[in-house]
A and B are shown apart, each in its own frame.
Chain A
Amino acid sequence: MSHAVTATASTGDWSGGHSPFNVRWGKLYMWIFLISDAFTFSSLLILYGSLRHRFSEIWPTPGEVFTHFPFIHGHVPLAYVGLMTFILIMSSVTMVLAVDAGHQLKKKGVKLWLGLTIIGGLMFLGSQAWEWYHFIHGSKAGSYYLADGRFARTDDLTPGVLKFHGGAMVEGVEAQTLIATATKHVHGANLTTNEYGPAPLFGDFFFFITGFHGFHVFSGVVINIIVLIVASRGVLERKKDYELVEKVGLYWHFVDLVWVFVFTFFYLV
């Protein structure tokens, strides 16, 4: 009886003699890096939120900005980013399956699922390039800074109609007069102006947040390719240890997690 009590006490998490976390250092290091990276992304999104709140009267509605979809003429709000989210979640699933195959020491499974994860990552990067192209290129009609200081958007589908923030519209001769006297005609977006609204910060945040996330995806794809090469050469098989796959898996899921937050706070809200 007394023996049993001693045994229970000595197997407690903090009783010494073994790791209280039951993970190896490599994995814990990855976690610590991801926590710090999460703080960076949190800071970006929180700053986005507070500045958007501050300039809510001129901030564009994301649902009216991200309306393009390949091969569809017209407005399809949010469908494309929804698709991008699907691609990234899907690639996260293939990554879990790669880690799972690694636990069972199945080299073939690791190669297959890791390969599919890389393809998913490349598809996401391609989608993002397409989205950036349309964001930067903008519409043919563009937007106007009017002589009276107001900002008006126009639309390729309804040319000659000026739309103001909040839903007010002006058309016909009155719109033509306003356009003729406009001080500036804006197409697409860059770091100083954008056609989606009079707040340059909107474009800046779009480029910085989605760009920073996209760079994480890019790094993830590169690291995944390296791990795929290492696994294909049988290095992990000889060690009977696929923890390397688990570590890049953690990074990849983190990238997926960040996108879930970017999706909500940049595109949906």
Chain B
Amino acid sequence: MSEDIIGQDIHHEHISHDAIEKAHSGLNTKVIWKVFWILLGITIFEVGIAFVTAIPHEILIYTYVFLTLVKAYYIVGFFMHLRFEKIPMIYSLILPFLLIVYFIFIALYEGTALGHTP
């Protein structure tokens, strides 16, 4: 049996439809609609709290950023299927965004020093 696995491995130069099919087992119609309701719920909540004047603006912004990242997780993870891909692929695609985090830091830090006419 172990020989079988090794044998398969050597001849496995292309990726068979079956192998990819297996990787898709995490997503079915039920999960898709669940993700839809989560995304819709968050969006309605976001629009809703925009009208609650009692919430300080700072807290509102942090809440929005957090909820947007939650939505991004569900879209990328489930709709774009990244959650079910191989770990090396996930890291290869996500880690470059550390540069964006750095860019946000630079832009906010330098923002006040930008030109003085709008």
A residues with CB within 8 A of B: 3-4, 6-7, 10-11, 13-14, 17-24, 28, 31, 35, 38-39, 42-43, 46-47, 49-51, 53-55, 58, 63, 77-79, 82, 85-86, 89-90, 92-93, 95-97, 100, 103, 198-201, 240-241, 249-250, 253-254, 256-257, 260-261, 263-265, 268-269
Contacts and interface: CB of A to CB of B under 8 A. Distances in A.
A11 B27 contact: no
Interface size class of B (residues with CB under 8 A): 35 or more
A232 B47 CA distance: 39
Which 9 A/B pairs are nearest by Cβ-Cβ distance?
A50-B111, A3-B2, A50-B107, A21-B89, A264-B68, A199-B118, A7-B2, A253-B79, A7-B5
Given A86-B43, A241-B17, A20 B32 contact: no
Contacts of A38: 97
Contacts of A85: 43
A22 B14 CA distance: 9
A6 B39 CA distance: 45
Q: Is the interface of B mostly helix, strand, loop or mixed?
A: helix
Given A7-B6, A21-B88, A50-B110, A250 B15 contact: no
B117 to A, nearest CB: 9
Contact of B93 (A35, A42, A269): A35
21 contacts: A13-B86, A18-B15, A35-B93, A39-B96, A42-B100, A46-B104, A50-B111, A51-B111, A54-B114, A63-B50, A77-B51, A78-B47, A82-B43, A90-B36, A93-B35, A95-B79, A96-B27, A103-B21, A200-B118, A260-B72, A264-B64
Contacts of B99: 39
B64 A268 contact: yes
Contacts of A43: 103
Given A22-B19, A22-B85, A82-B44, 18 more contacts: A4-B2, A6-B6, A7-B5, A17-B10, A21-B92, A22-B89, A23-B15, A23-B20, A39-B99, A51-B111, A92-B75, A93-B35, A250-B80, A253-B75, A257-B75, A257-B76, A260-B75, A264-B67
Interface of B: 2-3, 5-6, 9-10, 12-13, 15, 17, 19-21, 23-24, 27-29, 32-33, 35-36, 39-40, 43-44, 46-47, 50-51, 60-61, 64-65, 67-68, 71-72, 75-76, 78-80, 85-89, 92-93, 96-97, 99-100, 103-104, 107-108, 110-112, 114, 118
Contacts of B67: 264
A18 B60 CA distance: 48
Contacts of A90: 36
B68 A55 contact: no
Given A17-B12, A93-B33, A100-B29, A22 B23 contact: yes
A42 B39 contact: no
A14 B75 contact: no
Nearest to A97: B32
B3 A3 contact: yes
A53 B86 contact: no
Contacts of A249: 79-80
Given A18-B12, A20-B88, A264 B65 contact: yes
A248 to B, nearest CB: 12
Contacts of A18: 9, 12-13, 15
B76 to A, nearest CB: 7
A21 B86 CA distance: 6
A242 to B, nearest CB: 10
Given A17-B13, A18-B13, A78 B50 contact: yes
